[in-house]
Structure 1
Protein backbone atom coordinates (compact mmCIF):
# COMPACT_ATOMS: atom_id res chain seq x y z
CA UNK A 1 0.00 0.00 0.00
CA UNK A 2 1.24 3.45 -0.90
CA UNK A 3 0.86 6.20 1.68
CA UNK A 4 1.13 9.77 0.53
CA UNK A 5 2.65 12.05 3.12
CA UNK A 6 1.75 15.75 3.23
CA UNK A 7 5.31 16.71 2.34
CA UNK A 8 5.28 14.45 -0.77
CA UNK A 9 1.89 15.73 -1.80
CA UNK A 10 3.20 19.30 -1.78
CA UNK A 11 6.17 18.43 -3.94
CA UNK A 12 5.70 18.44 -7.77
CA UNK A 13 6.93 15.21 -9.45
CA UNK A 14 7.01 16.79 -12.92
CA UNK A 15 9.35 19.49 -11.83
CA UNK A 16 12.41 19.56 -14.06
CA UNK A 17 10.94 17.58 -16.89
CA UNK A 18 9.78 20.64 -18.72
CA UNK A 19 13.22 21.95 -19.06
CA UNK A 20 14.48 18.73 -20.68
CA UNK A 21 11.53 18.56 -23.03
CA UNK A 22 11.98 22.15 -23.88
CA UNK A 23 15.64 21.67 -24.68
CA UNK A 24 14.92 18.65 -26.98
CA UNK A 25 12.07 20.42 -28.69
CA UNK A 26 14.23 23.42 -29.14
CA UNK A 27 16.83 21.41 -31.07
CA UNK A 28 14.31 19.91 -33.51
CA UNK A 29 12.87 23.29 -34.28
CA UNK A 30 16.27 24.54 -35.25
CA UNK A 31 16.27 23.19 -38.86
CA UNK A 32 12.50 23.01 -39.26
CA UNK A 33 12.69 20.32 -42.08
CA UNK A 34 11.74 16.66 -41.92
CA UNK A 35 15.09 14.77 -41.94
CA UNK A 36 14.51 12.65 -45.13
CA UNK A 37 13.64 15.83 -47.00
CA UNK A 38 16.66 17.74 -45.71
CA UNK A 39 18.85 18.54 -48.74
CA UNK A 40 22.01 18.47 -46.66
CA UNK A 41 21.56 14.70 -46.09
CA UNK A 42 20.69 13.74 -49.72
CA UNK A 43 24.18 12.50 -50.53
CA UNK A 44 24.32 10.09 -47.59
CA UNK A 45 20.73 8.99 -48.25
CA UNK A 46 21.54 8.25 -51.89
CA UNK A 47 24.67 6.36 -50.86
CA UNK A 48 22.74 4.20 -48.42
CA UNK A 49 19.97 3.73 -51.01
CA UNK A 50 22.53 2.49 -53.56
CA UNK A 51 24.16 0.17 -50.99
CA UNK A 52 20.79 -1.20 -49.83
CA UNK A 53 19.56 -1.61 -53.40
CA UNK A 54 22.79 -3.37 -54.41
CA UNK A 55 22.61 -5.74 -51.42
CA UNK A 56 18.93 -6.38 -52.10
CA UNK A 57 19.69 -6.96 -55.81
CA UNK A 58 22.51 -9.40 -54.95
CA UNK A 59 20.28 -11.18 -52.46
CA UNK A 60 17.49 -11.44 -55.02
CA UNK A 61 19.70 -12.52 -57.94
CA UNK A 62 21.91 -14.97 -56.05
CA UNK A 63 19.53 -16.50 -53.49
CA UNK A 64 15.83 -15.79 -53.91
CA UNK A 65 15.41 -15.84 -57.73
CA UNK A 66 17.35 -19.13 -58.17
CA UNK A 67 15.33 -20.74 -55.41
CA UNK A 68 12.05 -19.55 -56.92
CA UNK A 69 13.27 -20.62 -60.38
CA UNK A 70 14.21 -24.04 -59.00
CA UNK A 71 10.83 -24.38 -57.33
CA UNK A 72 9.05 -23.37 -60.54
CA UNK A 73 11.20 -25.75 -62.60
CA UNK A 74 10.54 -28.56 -60.13
CA UNK A 75 6.82 -27.86 -60.25
CA UNK A 76 6.85 -27.72 -64.06
CA UNK A 77 8.71 -31.05 -64.19
CA UNK A 78 6.35 -32.54 -61.64
CA UNK A 79 3.30 -31.36 -63.58
CA UNK A 80 4.79 -32.71 -66.81
CA UNK A 81 5.46 -36.07 -65.12
CA UNK A 82 1.94 -36.13 -63.71
CA UNK A 83 0.48 -35.34 -67.14
CA UNK A 84 2.63 -38.05 -68.74
CA UNK A 85 1.54 -40.51 -66.05
CA UNK A 86 -2.10 -39.52 -66.57
CA UNK A 87 -1.75 -40.02 -70.34
CA UNK A 88 -0.07 -43.39 -69.80
CA UNK A 89 -2.83 -44.48 -67.41
CA UNK A 90 -5.48 -43.23 -69.86
CA UNK A 91 -3.87 -45.24 -72.66
CA UNK A 92 -3.74 -48.31 -70.42
CA UNK A 93 -7.40 -47.82 -69.53
CA UNK A 94 -8.29 -47.40 -73.22
CA UNK A 95 -6.32 -50.54 -74.07
CA UNK A 96 -8.00 -52.44 -71.24
CA UNK A 97 -11.43 -51.28 -72.45
CA UNK A 98 -10.58 -52.29 -76.03
CA UNK A 99 -9.35 -55.70 -74.83
CA UNK A 100 -12.51 -56.12 -72.76
CA UNK A 101 -14.69 -55.19 -75.72
CA UNK A 102 -12.75 -57.63 -77.95
CA UNK A 103 -13.06 -60.43 -75.39
CA UNK A 104 -16.76 -59.67 -75.01
CA UNK A 105 -17.25 -59.80 -78.80
CA UNK A 106 -15.28 -63.07 -78.97
CA UNK A 107 -17.36 -64.52 -76.14
CA UNK A 108 -20.57 -63.50 -77.92
CA UNK A 109 -19.35 -65.09 -81.17
CA UNK A 110 -18.36 -68.23 -79.29
CA UNK A 111 -21.74 -68.34 -77.52
CA UNK A 112 -23.54 -67.88 -80.85
CA UNK A 113 -21.44 -70.68 -82.39
CA UNK A 114 -22.17 -72.98 -79.43
CA UNK A 115 -25.88 -72.16 -79.63
CA UNK A 116 -25.90 -72.78 -83.39
CA UNK A 117 -24.05 -76.08 -82.93
CA UNK A 118 -26.50 -77.13 -80.21
CA UNK A 119 -29.43 -76.09 -82.42
CA UNK A 120 -28.02 -78.07 -85.38
CA UNK A 121 -27.33 -81.07 -83.14
CA UNK A 122 -30.86 -80.96 -81.72
CA UNK A 123 -32.29 -80.51 -85.23
CA UNK A 124 -30.32 -83.48 -86.60
CA UNK A 125 -31.30 -85.58 -83.57
CA UNK A 126 -34.96 -84.63 -84.10
CA UNK A 127 -34.67 -85.42 -87.82
CA UNK A 128 -33.10 -88.78 -87.03
CA UNK A 129 -35.81 -89.50 -84.45
CA UNK A 130 -38.53 -88.44 -86.93
CA UNK A 131 -37.03 -90.57 -89.68
CA UNK A 132 -36.78 -93.53 -87.31
CA UNK A 133 -40.38 -93.04 -86.18
CA UNK A 134 -41.59 -92.66 -89.76
CA UNK A 135 -39.70 -95.82 -90.80
CA UNK A 136 -41.20 -97.70 -87.86
CA UNK A 137 -44.68 -96.41 -88.69
CA UNK A 138 -44.19 -97.25 -92.39
CA UNK A 139 -43.12 -100.77 -91.40
CA UNK A 140 -46.16 -101.13 -89.16
CA UNK A 141 -48.40 -99.73 -91.93
CA UNK A 142 -46.96 -102.20 -94.42
CA UNK A 143 -47.50 -105.04 -91.96
CA UNK A 144 -51.03 -103.80 -91.28
CA UNK A 145 -51.79 -103.49 -95.02
CA UNK A 146 -50.44 -107.01 -95.57
CA UNK A 147 -52.54 -108.26 -92.69
CA UNK A 148 -55.60 -106.38 -94.02
CA UNK A 149 -54.96 -107.69 -97.53
CA UNK A 150 -54.64 -111.23 -96.17
CA UNK A 151 -57.79 -110.81 -94.10
CA UNK A 152 -59.58 -109.26 -97.11
CA UNK A 153 -58.44 -112.07 -99.38
CA UNK A 154 -59.49 -114.66 -96.84
CA UNK A 155 -62.75 -112.81 -96.24
CA UNK A 156 -63.45 -112.57 -99.94
CA UNK A 157 -62.67 -116.23 -100.33
CA UNK A 158 -64.92 -117.01 -97.44
CA UNK A 159 -67.64 -114.64 -98.74
CA UNK A 160 -68.44 -117.00 -101.56
CA UNK A 161 -68.64 -119.91 -99.16
CA UNK A 162 -70.67 -117.89 -96.65
CA UNK A 163 -72.91 -116.60 -99.44
CA UNK A 164 -73.45 -120.12 -100.70
CA UNK A 165 -74.29 -121.35 -97.20
CA UNK A 166 -76.59 -118.38 -96.56
CA UNK A 167 -78.32 -118.72 -99.94
CA UNK A 168 -78.90 -122.43 -99.45
CA UNK A 169 -80.29 -121.75 -95.94
CA UNK A 170 -82.56 -118.96 -97.27
CA UNK A 171 -83.87 -121.17 -100.06
CA UNK A 172 -84.39 -123.98 -97.63
CA UNK A 173 -86.30 -121.85 -95.15
CA UNK A 174 -88.25 -119.75 -97.58
CA UNK A 175 -88.97 -122.19 -100.28
CA UNK A 176 -88.75 -125.27 -98.24
CA UNK A 177 -86.73 -127.11 -100.85
CA UNK A 178 -83.09 -128.05 -101.24
CA UNK A 179 -80.70 -126.69 -103.75
CA UNK A 180 -77.36 -128.19 -104.70
CA UNK A 181 -74.12 -126.47 -104.01
CA UNK A 182 -73.32 -126.14 -107.70
CA UNK A 183 -76.59 -124.33 -108.38
CA UNK A 184 -76.06 -121.90 -105.47
CA UNK A 185 -72.44 -121.24 -106.56
CA UNK A 186 -73.58 -120.54 -110.13
CA UNK A 187 -76.28 -118.15 -108.87
CA UNK A 188 -73.83 -116.25 -106.62
CA UNK A 189 -71.29 -115.93 -109.44
CA UNK A 190 -74.01 -114.60 -111.69
CA UNK A 191 -75.01 -111.95 -109.12
CA UNK A 192 -71.42 -110.91 -108.19
CA UNK A 193 -70.39 -110.66 -111.83
CA UNK A 194 -67.44 -113.09 -111.69
Structure 2
Protein backbone atom coordinates (compact mmCIF):
# COMPACT_ATOMS: atom_id res chain seq x y z
CA UNK A 1 0.00 0.00 0.00
CA UNK A 2 1.37 3.23 -1.03
CA UNK A 3 -0.14 5.22 1.89
CA UNK A 4 1.89 3.30 4.43
CA UNK A 5 5.08 3.97 2.59
CA UNK A 6 4.36 7.71 2.50
CA UNK A 7 3.68 7.85 6.20
CA UNK A 8 7.21 8.71 7.38
CA UNK A 9 7.45 11.50 4.83
CA UNK A 10 4.14 13.26 5.64
CA UNK A 11 3.94 12.40 9.34
CA UNK A 12 5.77 15.46 10.55
CA UNK A 13 3.79 17.89 8.42
CA UNK A 14 0.45 16.34 9.43
CA UNK A 15 1.49 16.41 13.06
CA UNK A 16 2.45 20.07 12.68
CA UNK A 17 -0.93 21.02 11.17
CA UNK A 18 -2.75 18.88 13.71
CA UNK A 19 -1.07 20.67 16.59
CA UNK A 20 -1.61 24.04 14.92
CA UNK A 21 -5.35 23.39 14.39
CA UNK A 22 -5.86 21.92 17.85
CA UNK A 23 -3.91 24.80 19.38
CA UNK A 24 -6.03 27.34 17.51
CA UNK A 25 -9.18 25.52 18.52
CA UNK A 26 -7.95 25.36 22.10
CA UNK A 27 -7.31 29.09 22.22
CA UNK A 28 -10.58 29.95 20.46
CA UNK A 29 -12.77 27.54 22.42
CA UNK A 30 -10.79 27.14 25.63
CA UNK A 31 -9.78 30.74 26.09
CA UNK A 32 -12.65 32.51 24.34
CA UNK A 33 -15.83 30.51 24.56
CA UNK A 34 -15.45 28.41 27.71
CA UNK A 35 -14.96 31.41 30.05
CA UNK A 36 -18.08 32.99 28.58
CA UNK A 37 -20.00 29.75 29.05
CA UNK A 38 -18.67 29.37 32.60
CA UNK A 39 -19.55 33.00 33.29
CA UNK A 40 -23.06 32.39 32.00
CA UNK A 41 -23.38 29.23 34.13
CA UNK A 42 -22.07 31.06 37.21
CA UNK A 43 -24.44 33.95 36.49
CA UNK A 44 -27.33 31.50 36.14
CA UNK A 45 -26.34 29.72 39.36
CA UNK A 46 -26.08 33.08 41.14
CA UNK A 47 -29.46 34.10 39.75
CA UNK A 48 -31.04 30.80 40.85
CA UNK A 49 -29.44 31.16 44.29
CA UNK A 50 -30.66 34.76 44.59
CA UNK A 51 -34.12 33.73 43.45
CA UNK A 52 -34.17 30.91 46.01
CA UNK A 53 -33.07 33.34 48.74
CA UNK A 54 -35.77 35.80 47.72
CA UNK A 55 -38.32 32.99 47.65
CA UNK A 56 -37.23 31.89 51.13
CA UNK A 57 -37.45 35.49 52.37
CA UNK A 58 -40.90 35.82 50.81
CA UNK A 59 -41.94 32.53 52.43
CA UNK A 60 -40.64 33.69 55.82
CA UNK A 61 -42.45 37.01 55.44
CA UNK A 62 -45.63 35.20 54.43
CA UNK A 63 -45.35 32.90 57.44
CA UNK A 64 -44.76 35.82 59.79
CA UNK A 65 -47.66 37.70 58.19
CA UNK A 66 -49.84 34.62 58.59
CA UNK A 67 -48.78 34.28 62.24
CA UNK A 68 -49.61 37.96 62.86
CA UNK A 69 -52.92 37.50 61.05
CA UNK A 70 -53.77 34.48 63.19
CA UNK A 71 -52.82 36.37 66.35
CA UNK A 72 -55.08 39.25 65.30
CA UNK A 73 -57.89 36.81 64.53
CA UNK A 74 -57.47 35.16 67.94
CA UNK A 75 -57.39 38.56 69.64
CA UNK A 76 -60.50 39.64 67.72
CA UNK A 77 -62.24 36.38 68.57
CA UNK A 78 -61.38 36.82 72.26
CA UNK A 79 -62.61 40.43 72.16
CA UNK A 80 -65.83 39.32 70.46
CA UNK A 81 -66.35 36.67 73.13
CA UNK A 82 -65.81 39.29 75.84
CA UNK A 83 -68.29 41.65 74.18
CA UNK A 84 -70.84 38.86 73.73
CA UNK A 85 -70.47 37.84 77.38
CA UNK A 86 -70.79 41.45 78.51
CA UNK A 87 -73.88 41.93 76.33
CA UNK A 88 -75.36 38.71 77.69
CA UNK A 89 -74.72 39.83 81.27
CA UNK A 90 -76.17 43.28 80.55
CA UNK A 91 -79.24 41.69 78.98
CA UNK A 92 -79.68 39.38 81.97
CA UNK A 93 -79.24 42.31 84.35
CA UNK A 94 -81.79 44.40 82.45
CA UNK A 95 -84.25 41.50 82.34
CA UNK A 96 -83.82 40.97 86.08
CA UNK A 97 -84.42 44.66 86.74
CA UNK A 98 -87.54 44.58 84.57
CA UNK A 99 -88.74 41.46 86.39
CA UNK A 100 -88.18 43.17 89.74
CA UNK A 101 -90.10 46.24 88.56
CA UNK A 102 -92.96 44.07 87.28
CA UNK A 103 -92.94 42.04 90.52
CA UNK A 104 -93.03 45.23 92.58
CA UNK A 105 -95.86 46.60 90.45
CA UNK A 106 -97.78 43.33 90.75
CA UNK A 107 -97.19 43.24 94.52
CA UNK A 108 -98.51 46.79 94.81
CA UNK A 109 -101.56 45.92 92.72
CA UNK A 110 -102.11 42.71 94.73
CA UNK A 111 -101.91 44.63 98.01
CA UNK A 112 -104.37 47.20 96.70
CA UNK A 113 -106.72 44.43 95.51
CA UNK A 114 -106.45 42.64 98.89
CA UNK A 115 -107.23 45.90 100.68
CA UNK A 116 -110.29 46.41 98.48
CA UNK A 117 -111.39 42.85 99.11
CA UNK A 118 -110.94 43.31 102.87
CA UNK A 119 -112.95 46.52 102.73
CA UNK A 120 -115.64 44.79 100.68
CA UNK A 121 -115.68 41.84 103.12
CA UNK A 122 -115.82 44.17 106.13
CA UNK A 123 -118.57 46.19 104.51
CA UNK A 124 -120.45 43.04 103.57
CA UNK A 125 -120.04 41.67 107.11
CA UNK A 126 -121.28 44.95 108.52
CA UNK A 127 -124.21 44.88 106.14
CA UNK A 128 -124.86 41.21 106.88
CA UNK A 129 -125.03 42.00 110.57
CA UNK A 130 -127.43 44.86 109.86
CA UNK A 131 -129.51 42.71 107.47
CA UNK A 132 -129.50 39.79 109.96
CA UNK A 133 -130.54 42.12 112.77
CA UNK A 134 -133.36 43.53 110.65
CA UNK A 135 -134.43 40.01 109.56
CA UNK A 136 -134.35 38.86 113.18
CA UNK A 137 -136.46 41.81 114.25
CA UNK A 138 -139.01 41.14 111.53
CA UNK A 139 -139.17 37.39 112.33
CA UNK A 140 -139.71 38.09 116.01
CA UNK A 141 -142.50 40.52 115.11
CA UNK A 142 -144.19 37.98 112.84
CA UNK A 143 -143.72 35.03 115.11
CA UNK A 144 -144.46 36.57 118.46
CA UNK A 145 -146.10 39.80 117.53
CA UNK A 146 -143.73 41.74 119.82
CA UNK A 147 -141.70 44.62 118.51
CA UNK A 148 -137.96 44.27 119.31
CA UNK A 149 -135.69 47.28 119.27
CA UNK A 150 -132.97 47.37 116.67
CA UNK A 151 -130.07 47.43 119.19
CA UNK A 152 -131.46 44.35 120.96
CA UNK A 153 -131.75 42.48 117.65
CA UNK A 154 -128.16 43.49 116.77
CA UNK A 155 -126.87 42.23 120.14
CA UNK A 156 -128.62 38.90 119.62
CA UNK A 157 -127.11 38.50 116.11
CA UNK A 158 -123.65 39.36 117.44
CA UNK A 159 -124.01 36.84 120.23
CA UNK A 160 -124.85 34.10 117.72
CA UNK A 161 -122.15 35.00 115.16
CA UNK A 162 -119.33 35.57 117.67
CA UNK A 163 -120.09 32.44 119.62
**1:107 aligned onto 2:101:** no
Is 1:141 aligned with 2:82? Answer: no
Q: Offset of 1:182 from its aligned partner? A: 4.4
For the pair 1:64 / 2:2, whether they are aligned, the reply is no
The count of aligned residue pairs is 162
Is 1:96 matched with 2:96?
no
Shift of 1:34: 8.0
How far did residue 147 of structure 1 move? 2.3
- After superposition, the C-alpha distances for 1:119-160 in whole angstroms (9 at most, x for unaligned) are 122111111111111111111222222222223223323322
TM-score, with structure 2 as normaliser: 0.84
Structure showing the higher helix proportion among its residues = 2
CA distance in 1: counterparts of 2:4 and 2:69, whole angstroms: 83
**Which consecutive residues of structure 2, in runs of 5 or more, have no partner in the other structure?**
none
Any stretches of 5+ residues in structure 1 without a counterpart?
A: 1-30
Equivalent residue for 2:44, pick from 75, 82, 90: 75
By relative contact order (CA 8 Å, sep 6+), the higher-ranking structure is 2
Q: For the aligned residues, what is the CA RMSD?
A: 2.3
1:121 is aligned, of 90, 103, 106, to: 90
Equivalent residue for 2:161? Answer: 192
Partner Cα distance (1:179, 1:75) in 2: 139
